[in-house]
Structure 1
């Protein structure tokens, strides 16, 4: 009998060991990519790992990705390990394979951050870097409030006044969009999309071409945390509702599916998301992508943890008592302690994987 809570890990190193062991035990073909640009908090090397199951020429491929937003890898890794340990690979239908991408952002996972080693949010980095970047005037107006001089009561009170004034003028969802929609103007800010493709961006594109090039149909599940009711896994489709892949996702997931563009999602409209890479790199395949967004705590508390973590890495001292407090809060906001939340994560993941496999086979 598999203990689902024990499939989850308290650190990147523990998660990597569990994933590789479970993938090997299930007969997966494991590959590893060393991130040459970053090390972990103890100076350890950081890897993106993949495990592939099923026929080499499988026409249908299920892809599961963890840690697009580093610290959220605690959740995604746990779901991946639970799938491996509950017989997922052995139950794959004929002509169907699976590719598990573990810790696409190993730096963020290891350092308890959403961003990568360049302070880049991977889910804002998959834009066309040869074109003008999307403007975010709201972020420009709020940048100084988002990253205050210091994390003192006076500075935080002034920042809060600015943020509340913006929300009063434009609305609370507009404030969320201005902060979290993505920006390319402030490299020291949050939700920064970067000024070039990151290592993780280039690596996942290479993996897609190498591992999925023979597939006719590809279903992608990307694991996230931090928005929505506690433990609920919202199924978010980020392509426009007019896209063919949106219609497929609706057929697979039904009324459960939400869309930032039609206002049914807890997420703001975002540009440059990671799953955009798959249809770009696999033009001859039908790609159907969904993000599972697991709720943790109230959005203001989650955003405040992200702001605090960014301030800490830009202007603070990680070894200080305040630094340790910020890090502990960051982890809890994206990976709540206790068995109940983890069991809820797997229940929803198991259900979603089932829907995706039926969709691939339809």
Structure 2
């Protein structure tokens, strides 16, 4: 079966143009929110498209670009959906949030303009979590240089911790979120980011808590087997959200808290902001598309992070930035086809549950 992949883009501006073009071809409400950053001379915009009645009791939310450079797959899935909108139940609506982190998308970074990982930014900032294991790893995670000796030394020390602690404890230490190292990896910030505040505004404006049934699909890339779309739920296992998610996605779904996911439990996920406003029949799941090995991702993130916080030759910086982009966005037709097919499948499943359950 051939799946057209022309809805994928090569840069943020092209992705936005494709999204806006697809929106203009059908009836709906289009709104744009610009993130005005003083030292950035380009438009950084999160675009919102609402399809359906404002009074619809059921709502499907499709999010792309929470982790900027991962926005290519989510944007393509949104464009694909808009080009071939399935017949929808009259009491169901769809809200599309395109490029939630427009800065990261535009600059092919995973983080936002303040080095904040949006998926670690939703915590109680008066009582921030403490990641002691990250603090142990911090001297070796934060590279001192990009020469071969520095890279080899870092990898040797980190491999020692991985073998001593085990894969899952090590991954949680590195990527679970930290709130002390503002120039480090997986930083959660000191307060709500621009994207966090916009999300809260949209939750309120689109009356999410007043709906009868809600499913939020946040599309990501970088974890799991190549091309596979894993449905990940970070709801507390005994919560109503977890029960509704299992009902909607059955054996497709994995749960980090239960140890069944390619992801480990993390602090400050965007999920948690939505959780507070969802009805009993409401869930937020991540649709995560695998690419390559996690240790490769950590190594690339280390090098890319160093480039953004230290003087580095432009040529070297561009090479590392391109490698990071290729990790999160493999521009291969087989991967692109797998992404679109799985997104079509999970979106159709979601709309069916909203309409008929």
TM-score by length of 1: 0.94
Contact residue 224 and residue 262 of structure 2 kept, 8 A: yes
The 8 Å contact of residues 38 and 45 in structure 1, kept in 2 or not, is answered as: no
Whether the aligned pair in 1 keeps the contact of 2:230 and 2:289 (CA below 8 Å) is: yes
Q: How many residues align?
A: 354
**Partners in 1 of 2:325 and 2:122 — Cα distance?**
25
- Corresponding residue for 2:21? 21
2:171 pairs with 1:173 = no
Q: CA deviation at 1:339?
A: 1.4
Residue 118 of structure 2 is aligned to residue 122 of structure 1 = yes
SS at match of 1:266: coil
Q: Quote the Cα distance in structure 1 between the aligned partners of 2:136 and 2:207.
A: 42
Structure 1, unaligned runs of 5 or more: none
Question: Could you tell me how far apart the structure 2 residues matched to 1:157 and 1:286 are?
Answer: 49
Counterpart Cα distance in 2 of 1:330 and 1:285: 39
Task: Name the CA distance, whole Å, in 2 between partners of 1:217 and 1:271.
Answer: 26
Change (3 A) 1:358 1:115: same
1:148 corresponding residue in structure 2: 143
How many Å separate the matches in 1 of 2:110 and 2:322?
14
In structure 1, distance between residues paired with 2:293 and 2:279: 41
When residues 116 and 151 of structure 1 are mapped into structure 2, their CA distance, relative to the original with a 3 A threshold, is same
- Structure 1 residue 215: deviation in Å? 2.2
Deviation at 1:324, TM superposition (A): 1.1
**Aligned partners of 2:4, 2:19: CA distance in 1, in Å?**
14
Measure, in 2, the Cα distance between the counterparts of 1:239 and 1:316.
Answer: 41
CA shift for structure 1 position 168: 1.8
Q: Deviations over 1:73-93 (max 9, x none)?
A: 0110001001111224xx121
User: d(CA) in 1 for partners of 2:39 and 2:81?
Assistant: 28
Tell me which residue corresponds to 2:219. Answer: 223
Corresponding position of 2:245 = 249
Residue of structure 2 in register with 1:135 after alignment: 130
Over the aligned positions, Cα root-mean-square deviation in angstroms equals 1.5
> Could you say which residue in structure 2 is the equivalent of 1:34?
34
Contact kept, 8 Å, 1:135 with 1:183, in 2: the verdict is yes
Taking the TM superposition and a 5 Å limit, the aligned residue runs for 1:92-107 are: 92-107=88-103
Alignment partners' CA distance in 1, 2:242 and 2:303: 35
